[in-house]
A = this chain, B = another copy of it.
Amino acid sequence: MTPRRLAYQKIRSDVLKRIETGEWTYGDAIPSERELARTYGVSLMTARHALYDLECDGVVQRRRGVGTFVAPPRIEFNRLSSITEQMHARGLQTHSKVIAFELNANEESAIAALGLESEEKILRFERLRYGADQPFAIETCYLPLARFPRLRREALDRGSLFALLVTDYKTRLSYADEEIDAVAATPRHARLLNVAANAPLLRIRQVIHQADGTPVLYGIGFYRPDRHALVTRRFR
C-alpha cells in the first residue's frame, strides 16, 4: 500500500483511477475545481494543484469557462518500455526462456558501457523471447552485481525484468541510449530464432540509466525483423 497522506496526490490518484478503470473516458467532464474542493474538504488551490498536475501529464484538458475533461488517449512514442510491457499493451502474450546465466562475466564492452572498473563483477544472462509462442528475439543483459545482488535465474523466468528492477531493487529507471543497426545471424542465433544462417537481424544495443544518471543495464538484443520492427516518431 502506498501512503496517500498528501491531499492533492489523493485527489490526483483518485481521478486517475477512475480514468484508468474506464469509469470516465475520453471527452467526459470531470468534477470542477470547486466540486472537488468541496467533496474532499480542501481549499480551491489544493484541488487546482491536483488538476494542474494531471494536465501536465496530459491526462486531462482544461478549458476556461467550460470545465475539465479527460484527454484523448495519447500514443506514446519513443518511450522506454520493456518488451513485456509493449506486448501487453497490444494484448499479446510473451514469455522468455533463460538460456544462459553467469555471475562473473567479463566482457569489455559491457564493463565500458556500465562505467565500471574492470575488476567489478557483472551479472550476465541471456534470454530467448517468445511472442505468440514463436521466438522473435535473443537478448543479453549485463548488470553490475553489486547493485543487484541475489538476482536469481528463477526470478527472470517468471516475469518482467523491468518489474523486478523496479519493485525488488527500487530502481528508478529513467532513460536509455540506444544504437540500432543490422547484422547477419550467426549460426547459433539462426538456430535459436529459427531463421536461415546469415539472415538479417535487427540489433539494438542499449544502456539503461536510472534517475541519477547511473547506468544500470547494458543490453544487446537481436530481433527477427519479420516479427519485430522498431517504430519511432521524430520531431523537427
Residues of A at the B interface (CB closer than 8 Å) are: 45, 56, 78-81, 173-184, 198-203, 223, 225, 228-236
A139 nearest CB across to chain B (Å): 16
Q: What chain B residues lie within 8 Å of A175 (beta carbons)?
A: 233-236
What is the chain B residue whose CB lies nearest that of A174?
Answer: B236
**If A176-B234, A234-B175, A234-B176 touch, does A183 touch B225 (CB 8 Å cutoff)?**
yes
Q: Could you tell me if A80 and B229 are in contact, using CB atoms closer than 8 angstroms?
A: no
Q: What chain B residues lie within 8 Å of A183 (beta carbons)?
A: 182, 200, 225
A72 nearest CB across to chain B (Å): 10
Q: Could you tell me if A181 and B229 are in contact, using CB atoms closer than 8 angstroms?
A: yes
What is the chain B residue whose CB lies nearest that of A172?
Answer: B236
Q: Could you tell me if B225 and A178 are in contact, using CB atoms closer than 8 angstroms?
A: no
